[in-house]
Amino acid sequence: LHLYWSILLAGAVREGLNLLWWFLAHWSKWHSHDDATMKSLWHPTVFFTDAWFLSSCFTLSCRLLLVMPCVCDSFFSNPDPVMSEWEQGLLAINTFAQGFAVTYMLRLLHRFKRILAIFKTFFSRTILEMLLIAVMIFASFSFAFLTLIRREHAAWTVTYLYRGLMFGDGDGLDRMGLMLGGSDEDNKAALVLFMVCGTILFNVTILNLVIAIYGNEYEQVNAETELHFMKER
C-alpha cells in the first residue's frame, strides 16, 4: 500500500517538474530573442496566463490534494495496511482523473484527433448552458418533491427522482407517485402531476434537446478539427 501511494505521489511530483522544465525553456527563449515582437511572444506573463498552464496547475493541485492526505495517513498515522473508506474514495477519484487525463492526451495523436472535437464540443458554451438549464430544472423538481414527500430522507427522494426523470426507471417512477394500486398518500394528485410533467419535460424535451444541440455543435467543431489539432500540437 505504501509503495502504491508512493507511485501516485511520484507521478504528481513528475508533473510539477514538467511544469518547471517548460517554464525554464520558456524563460530561456524569452532571454535569447532580441526582437521586441519575438520577445513579447515568449514573455513569462504569456506562459502563466496560457490555458495549458492554468489547466495543468489545476489538475496538479487536485492530485496533490487527493494524494497527500492518504500518503501522510498511510506512512505516519495509520500503520494498518488496510485502506480506509476515505482512502478508497480518494483512490477512486485519482484513478478516474488519471484515466481522463490519458484520454485527453490522446487528442494530440493524429489517429485520435476526433477526441479533440468531442472534448471541445462537450465543453462549448452552448452545451454548458444547456446542461446548466437541465440541472436547474432538476433542482426545481427536487425541491418540489422534497416538499411533497416529507416522510423520507432527502437523499432517498432525490435518488429515486433522478432515476425516474433521467432514465425512466420503474422503481423511481413508482416511488415518486406513479405506482398503481398504492395508498392515497403515495398517489397524491400533486405527486402524479409533478411526475408526469417532469417525465415529459426531461425524457421527451430536455434530453433530446441536449442531444440535438450536441450534434449540431459537433458538426461545426468537426469541420475545423484539423485547425484545432494543429493549434493543440
Single pTM value for the model: 0.65
- More confident call, 71 vs 113: 113
pLDDT at 151: 83
Between 64 and 219, name the one with better pLDDT: 219
Angle at 33 between CA 28 and CA 38, to 5 degrees: 110
Pick the range with the lowest mean pLDDT from 18-27, 76-85, 155-164, 214-223.
76-85
Burial class (CB in 10 A: 0-12, 13-18, 19+), 44: exposed
Question: 76 and 4 in contact (C-beta within 8 Å)?
Answer: no
Q: What residue has cell string 500500500?
A: 1
Report, as an integer, the average pLDDT of 149-165.
88
Q: Report residue 119: phi and psi, to 5°.
A: -65, -45
Q: What CA–CA distance (Å, rounded) separates 143 from 132? A: 17
Q: What is the mean pLDDT of residues 118-127?
A: 86
Which of 16-20, 130-134, 180-184, 201-205 is the least confident region? 180-184
Segment 39-68 mean pLDDT: 78
**pLDDT score at 78:** 59
Give residues with Cβ within 8 angstroms of 69, minimum separation 6. 86, 90
Mean pLDDT of 193-220: 88
Q: Average pLDDT for residues 197-209, to the nearest whole number?
A: 87
pLDDT, greater one: 208 or 179: 208
Q: d(Cα 12, Cα 24) in Å, to the nearest integer?
A: 19
Q: Does the pLDDT at position 65 exceed 90?
A: no
Q: What cell does 96 get?
A: 478516474
* Stretch among 14-18, 36-40, 77-81, 164-168 having the lowest mean pLDDT: 77-81
DSSP labels, 173-191 = HIIIII-TT--TTTT-HHH
pLDDT value at residue 136: 92
- pLDDT in the model for residue 175: 81
In contact, 177 and 144? CB cutoff 8 Å: no
Q: What is the pLDDT of residue 230?
A: 79
Look at phi and psi of residue 35 and say left if phi exceeds 0, alpha if psi is from -120 to 50, else beta: beta
Would you say residue 184 has pLDDT above 60? no
Least confident segment among 22-31, 70-79, 130-139: 70-79
